[in-house]
Amino acid sequence: MIKVNILGKNDKIIIKGHALFDDFGKDIVCAGVSSVVTTTINAILTFNKDYISYLSEKDQFTISINVHNEIVDNLIKNMLDMLKNIEEDYPKNIKIGKEN
């Protein structure tokens, strides 16, 4: 299962695990999550490379929001909304949680 953990007021987002919907290379849930996250990060970085930082590890991806502004906050909100849509369709494969 992919677990998305949102910390604070969207200050840090940790995405870890595998969807296990299908075999490696055929997993549409993993592909969807990867596409949404990668597109969001690339969009934010086109505006300013200092707005966020990220770390990609073997089974975990961490996004740290360094600057909250309209661009960053709207793109992050859009990313989380799209991930929630995936969660609604595949609740056995992705879970989103929030910690304050």
Residues with catalytic function: 18, 30
List Cα–Cα distances, 17 to 45, 58, 81, 94, in angstroms.
24, 9, 19, 9
Whole-number Å distance between alpha carbons of 92 and 3: 11
Q: CB–CB of 4/91 below 8 Å?
A: no
Whole-number Å distance between alpha carbons of 100 and 98: 7
User: What single DSSP character describes residue 3?
Assistant: E
